[in-house]
Amino acid sequence: MPYPGPANRFRAGRMLAMSTAPTALPRVLSGIQPTADSFHFGNYLGATRQWVALQDEFDPFFFIADLHSITMSHDPKLLAQRTRVAAAQLLAMGIDPERSTVFVQSHVPEHAQLAWVFNSLTSFGEARRMTQFKDKSAKEGEGAASVALFAYPILQAADILLYRPQYVPVGEDQRQHLELTRDLAQRFNHRYKKTFKLPEPYILKETAKISDLQQPEKKMSKSASSPTGIVELLDDPKVSAKKIRSAVTDSDTEVRFDETAKPGVSNLLTIYSALTGRSIEDLEKAYDGKGYGDFKGDLADVVVEFVTPFRDRTKALLDDPAELDGILKRGAERAREVAARTLADVYDRVGFLKA
């Protein structure tokens, strides 16, 4: 599938690096929470698809953010299994553990350790300005939210800066957390000694925000979308097809990209274009005069074709949990080598007595 990958300038950099030290490739890092039984199309098109593509040009670190997933109420009986399912999905979509370091956040204790240091650099007002905290605490009220939910973006900054990556591939909803990350890196460098380089968000404009199928003005979300608004990669393909066919459009009949006037149709065009590599203009032409029924029916077929083999691959990987756990164990070992070096620098610069 044609894919808008990173600029070709990195290819030259890679060849140079390969001829001397392959580990000198610039790093990318990202994480995903194991808070649901499946990733959805927002996660995939907004973030993890870019992870797969970036493996070619970078030294990648990808992790399952289980520490983040306990910041809101969770079911301990489901967490370990969801963590494995998340790992299996990453492998099934093409993350290659030979090229990428894939691990579970809680297996690398340096994340929580660095987060504590960053807590000391973050003001209360700064943390309170995070819109995700406002959104996620709105339902129960700020007083009932956990301190961990409040500190969540600070842990995210630690996740990122431990590995000193160049890029962090995420969806638009993570942009503010990346700004905080850059601020904390700068503050640490300024207060102590230059330790961190500033990571850049890697957000693809076209798929930065995939919308809810029923409420296209909102993002597709594990926690906020109704079941009919969200398409899960591991759901029964027939159910996913039905959700696409019943997606909210508008009273018009024209298949045209216009996010303000036609947010539902535009969202479907985005998904269609991302899954097939066909341009939006090409799709608009192809459905000129045909109406929404044909358009949604064809997109439903595209989705089924994509999710069916993906589900099979994920299931096959889950049939061998020992193999999966081995990959995650080796990933955590590799991640710790990098993370421990960064944490040692930080502890030294903060002034902690050496153990």
The CA distance from 267 to 249, in Å, is: 9
The least CB distance from residue 319 to ligand TYM, in Å, is 25
Nearest CB to ligand TYM, comparing residues 231 and 287: 231
- Tell me: does residue 171 bind ligand TYM (CB under 6 A): yes
- Select from 53, 10, 11, 63 the least CA-distant residue to 32: 63
- Tell me: does residue 46 bind ligand TYM (CB under 6 A): yes
- Tell me: does residue 82 bind ligand TYM (CB under 6 A): no
Selected binder of ligand TYM within 92, 170, 255, 343 (CB under 6 A):
170
Q: How far is CA 276 from CA 158, 257, 271, 306, 328, in A?
A: 36, 16, 9, 10, 31
At residue 60, φ and ψ (nearest 5 deg) are -95, 145
Nearest CB to ligand TYM, comparing residues 84 and 209: 209
The CA distance from 118 to 184, in Å, is: 7
Active site residue 222: yes
- Tell me: does residue 136 bind ligand TYM (CB under 6 A): no
- Tell me: does residue 33 bind ligand TYM (CB under 6 A): yes
The least CB distance from residue 210 to ligand TYM, in Å, is 4
Size of the site for ligand TYM (CB under 6 A): 24
- Tell me: does residue 151 bind ligand TYM (CB under 6 A): no
Active site residue 354: no
Selected binder of ligand TYM within 87, 130, 210, 255 (CB under 6 A):
210
Active site residue 243: no
The least CB distance from residue 169 to ligand TYM, in Å, is 7
Look at residue 284 and give its three-state secondary structure: helix
The CA distance from 31 to 40, in Å, is: 15
Q: Mark the segment that binds ligand TYM (CB under 6 A) among 18-26, 114-122, 143-151, 153-161.
A: 153-161
- Tell me: does residue 159 bind ligand TYM (CB under 6 A): yes
CB atoms within 10 A of CB 72: 18
Copy the structure tokens of residue 96. 């290659």
Look at residue 166 and give its three-state secondary structure: coil
Q: Going along the chain, which residue ranges are E strands?
A: 27-32, 59-64, 101-104, 167-169, 200-202
> How many helices (H) and strands (E) are present in the chain, helices listed first?
14, 5
- Tell me: does residue 209 bind ligand TYM (CB under 6 A): yes
- What is the secondary structure of 234-271 as a DSSP string? TS-HHHHHHHHHT----SS-----BTTTBHHHHHHHHH
* Contact code string over 272-291 relative to ligand TYM, x by CB under 6 A: --------------------
- Tell me: does residue 31 bind ligand TYM (CB under 6 A): yes
**Which residues are marked as active site?**
136, 219, 222
Residues at the site binding ligand TYM, with contacts judged by CB under 6 A: 30-33, 42-43, 46-47, 65, 68, 156, 159-160, 168, 170-171, 173-174, 208-210, 219-221
